[in-house]
Structure 1
Amino acid sequence: MLTDTLRPNLLESHEYPHYIKYMGSKTKIMDFVISGINEVYAGGAVLDLFAGSASLSGALRDQVQVHSNDIQEYSSVLAKAYLTAYKDKSTPTSYMILQKAEHIVNKHLHLISDELQYNDIETLKHFNDVEENNRKLINNDFTNDYHLFTKNYSGTWWTAQQCLWIDALREVADEYKGKPSYSIILASLMYAMAYTSQGTGHYAQYRDAKNIKSMKDIMIYRRRDIRHYFSRKYNDALLDVPSFMNKQQHIITSLDFVDCLSVFSGGTVYADPPYCFVHYSRFYHALETLVKYDYPELQVKSGKLVKGRYRENRHQSPFCIRTKVSQAFKDMFEGVKSTGSNLVLSYSKNGMIEIEAVEAIALDVFGAAYALDMVSTDYKHMTLGRQGDRHRDVQECLILAKRK
């Protein structure tokens, strides 16, 4: 079975705060994942090759050097919040941050005219008129530097007023860029965005009010206060982070998986690639935009702005493309082998290709130089949809590859 508890350098799953809602998060099976890592771990760093919400960084941060990597830059912010953030004299309180943000918001409150307000709404038509008026802000010209969310996302996952606060808090965050608290501020803002969003936990498409029931449900989120969720998470995060720099020499990168493996050596790779045809860059584009804050060109299809308001030229993972997934696994296994590292691969029996096919590729690439094994567990996979399949039964498999 899995690792003997008497084995030296045994890693454990330590508690950590969560910042975002994330599809396929391994939080609920972290003990299972780390038991798999212990099965092959022989010292050195642990590379989280597809870090996503960086939960593995949170679980292992004080025990071993972690190299957290994901091609999406929002992941690096979450990893820094776990691995490199700490409190010092420059660290602001939530009150200080919100005071500065409120000063910014007050300067732009004139933008929230009566037709953008969600007050005294009783009919579905009135509600949808207000929604559409919010969305029309994308046609406005703004003179202030931090207006990205107010312009692009008002009336989508958030109201114009909520977007004013997102932009203001993002502006305040940049005052602390280069400080050890910067990543905590941004991560706490991601949390506030997630829990005030009227969507289903991701940002693929916002919901439309098609009847009174859905209108009332959306209104719950339209009335939520960004400030409350930001300050609650930020205060909790400050209790979690140390008052000194982490002694582990953690590394955080935003590289393609092949490029990341080319600079890693002599440790253990944990790989949790996407399982299905949907790209994470579609589901979490709003977080990527928050971090980059680069006023991206938005995707247009058939002459119309795509409803999800996705970033143009967003990353497309080969693990999500049926014609490319087999080669992607081969490239990953060859990259791991070239580093001289051991591997723990998470994959699902409901993945893009059969788990037996993945196993066959692994056997072909690793050959006699590695011992291969596979373990599995059943758990409820959160789809982050508000339909009948919100939780789906998934059999999670770990393919273990250890150098002989």
Structure 2
Amino acid sequence: MPYQIWNRRYTGSKYKLSSWISDLIQDNCVGNSFCDMFAGTAIMSKKMIDNFDEIYINDFLYSNEVIYKAFFEQSNYNSTKLEILKNNFMKVPLSQISENYVSENFGDKFFSSNDARRIGYIREQIECNDDLNEKEKNILLASLLYSLDKAANTVGHYDAYIKGKQINDTFTFELIEPYVFKNKKIHISRLDANVLAKSIKCDIVYIDPPYNSRQYSRFYHVLENITKWEKPELFGTACKPKAENMSEYCRSSATRTFEELISSLKCKYIVVSYNNTYNSKSSSSRNKISLADIKCILENKGTVSVFEKEHQYFNAGKTELPNHKELVFITKVGG
């Protein structure tokens, strides 16, 4: 079965909450344009796109930008060509695949040795294929990211791999299923949200930023590395490259950064997702922006309504959140 956009593991994914959030937006907001400013898996973009003429999908990760372009960008591609390549990738015997960047760095760690060798081989084949247009290349890259995620020896992110267990060969290359939309203006970007906020005018802006110290560029460094394919030197047990693309929303400056974002927005409604991990025993899971600060900042922009729902928080470690809730703030700007 081809992959849909939600068929991946992602910290903070709103997949299980997407229907609830989309219903809140439709019941409380009016407009023709929608911006998913910290799109992540882009499940909210997929959920909302049928209701709007224009949509902005933004995230600052390289891997997410490629995924969005693969699924949402409306340009031509040859599905037969991609199907042939998919089959050929898996037909090549491992004995004919040399050791490569992925197998040397991630083999017997994040993937089995054999799986890592094939993943690296496929990535190199995509890179050197001059017969692919941009859409086709993005589809193959996104398909590789979804496929390797299924085989990864992790708990759902790449901050570390699972040690002390045999890693079986489970990798299979499958294609994603790009979406077809008619009469939609779709804008895909990889920008700092605070930069994007100053450059667009949109009816409804959905904001789901990281609230704790866990940097997504570090959590998903393997996906970022394989997407960019610059083959940097890696360091430490988790085989990470030098730090880059770090978010201010994961630092002590998060509240000030959020306030700057909200003040810059030119829109009719602001919808903010928030989860109450501020009581977490883990300092890395604890919120950098308080509930009170978010409410105060939004109230300076307009009239705020708050909605809440009990929700089991994604927990890959030892964090205990027995009374976890997801909150949604809907602000009518100037109201």
TM-score range, shorter chain: 0.7 to 0.9
TM-score in terms of structure 2 length: 0.86
Give the CA deviation at 1:247.
Answer: 3.1
Matched residues in 2 for 1:47 and 1:18: separation?
18
Q: Where do 1:300-379 residues align within 5 Å?
A: 305-321=235-251, 323-336=252-265, 339-350=266-277, 351-364=287-300, 366=301, 370-379=302-311
Give, in whole Å, the separation in 2 of the partners of 1:87 and 1:223: 37
Find out whether 1:384 has 2:316 as its counterpart.
yes
Distance 1:197 1:374, change over 3 A: same
What is the aligned partner in structure 2 of residue 394 from structure 1? 324
- 1:171 equivalent in structure 2: 124
Aligned-partner Cα distance in 2 for 1:296–1:104: 27
Question: Within 1, Cα distance between the matches of 2:61 and 2:156?
Answer: 18
Q: Does 1:98 align with 2:87?
A: yes
* Residues 164 and 102 of structure 1: CA distance in aligned 2, closer, same or farther (over 3 Å): farther
Asked whether the 8 Å contact 1:267–1:341 carries over to 2, the reply is yes
Q: Which amino acid aligns with 1:255?
A: L
Partner of 2:282: none
Residues 39 and 325 of structure 1, relative CA distance in 2, 3 Å threshold: farther
1:292 maps to a residue whose letter is K
How many angstroms apart in 2 are the aligned matches of 1:167 and 1:102?
Answer: 15
How far did 1:80 drift? 2.0
Do the aligned partners of 2:10 and 2:41 also contact (CA within 8 Å) in 1?
yes
User: What per-residue deviation string (whole Å, max 9, x for no partner) do you get for residues 16-75 of structure 1?
Assistant: 542320011000010121123224533232111111111122223344222111111111
Aligned CA distance change for structure 1 residues 160 and 154 (closer, same or farther; 3 Å): same
Which residue is 1:162 aligned to? Answer: 115
Q: Deviations over 1:304-327 (max 9, x none)?
A: x31111221222222212x21210
Structure 1's unaligned 5+ residue stretches are 1-14, 112-146, 210-214, 299-304
Higher-Rg structure is 1
- Structure 1 residue 93 displacement after superposition: 4.5
- Indicate which of 114, 131, 148 corresponds to 2:101: 148
CA distance in 2, matches of 1:102, 1:45: 45
* Cα distance in structure 1, aligned partners of 2:156 and 2:322: 16
**Rounded Cα–Cα distance in structure 1 between residues aligned with 2:96 and 2:196:** 44
Among 198, 211, 216, which residue is 1:262 paired with? Answer: 198
When residues 162 and 30 of structure 1 are mapped into structure 2, their CA distance, relative to the original with a 3 A threshold, is: same
CA contact (8 A) 1:69 1:252 kept: yes
Q: Any residues of structure 2 matched to 1:1-400 within 5 Å, and which? A: 16-64=4-52, 65-84=54-73, 88-89=77-78, 91-100=80-89, 102-103=91-92, 106-109=95-98, 111=99, 147-174=100-127, 175=129, 177-209=132-164, 215=165, 219=166, 222-227=167-172, 230-231=173-174, 234=175, 237-238=176-177, 241-242=179-180, 246-298=182-234, 305-321=235-251, 323-336=252-265, 339-350=266-277, 351-364=287-300, 366=301, 370-385=302-317, 393-400=323-330
**Quick check: 1:268–1:343 contact (8 Å CA) kept in 2?**
yes
Equivalent-residue separation in structure 2 for 1:79 and 1:61 (angstroms):
13
CA RMSD of aligned residues (A): 2.6
Q: Does the 8 Å CA contact 2:67/2:138 hold for their aligned counterparts?
A: yes
Q: For 2:147 and 2:322, how far apart are their aligned partners in 1?
A: 26
Q: Measured at CA, do residues 393 and 152 of structure 1 come closer, stay the same or move farther in structure 2, by a change above 3 Å?
A: farther
**Contiguous gaps of at least 5 residues in structure 2:** 278-286
Q: Share of identical aligned residues, percent?
A: 21
Inter-CA distance 75–393: structure 2 relative to 1 (3 Å threshold): farther
Q: How far apart, CA to CA, are the structure 2 residues paired with 1:53 and 1:17?
A: 7
TM superposition shift of 1:255: 0.4
Residues 74 and 392 of structure 1: is their aligned pair in 2 closer, same or farther, counting only changes over 3 Å? farther
1:341-378 Cα shifts (integer Å, max 9, x gaps): 421011112233321221112223x1xxx222111111
**TM-score, normalising length: structure 1:** 0.72
Q: Shift of the alpha carbon at 1:196?
A: 1.1
AA of the residue aligned to 2:274: Y
Q: Does the CA contact (< 8 Å) of 1:382 and 1:392 recur in 2?
A: no
1:162, 1:226 within 8 Å by CA — same for their partners in 2? yes
Q: Between Structure 1 and Structure 2, how many residues are aligned?
A: 320
Instruction: Determine if contact 1:373/1:400 at 8 Å carries over to the other structure.
Output: yes
Q: 1:89 to 1:281 in 2, by over 3 A?
A: closer
- Call closer, same or farther: CA 1:264–1:67 in 2, change over 3 Å: same
